Amino acid sequence: MSDKVTKIDEMNLAGTKGKITVTTIKEPYGPNSESVASIGISLNANATEPEWKVHIPKANIAQVIEALQKAEKEL
């Protein structure tokens, strides 16, 4: 990982051999762009790049967590 990416946590992706990785990324869209939280999904634990990624700006994190908690109750 580059010095712009900080790994926060990594967990097994239930039902697969894959991983969920949570990181923060400084300047993801070039110089002076806002840092984001990034969630990556890899279907293969050895993957060097996730198949899916989502970048979440700091201003949206609380709302996304709330929505995920609601989704969890629905599952």
- Backbone φ and ψ of 16, nearest 5°: -140, 180
CB proximity list for 60: less than 8 A, separation 6 or greater: none
Average pLDDT over residues 5-18: 95
- Backbone φ and ψ of 22, nearest 5°: -115, 125
| Tens-place pLDDT, residues 12-49 | 999 999 999 999 999 999 999 999 999 999 999 887 88
Distance of alpha carbon 62 from alpha carbon 65, whole angstroms: 5
The amino acid at 63: Q
Domain around 56: 5-74
The number of domains in the chain is 1
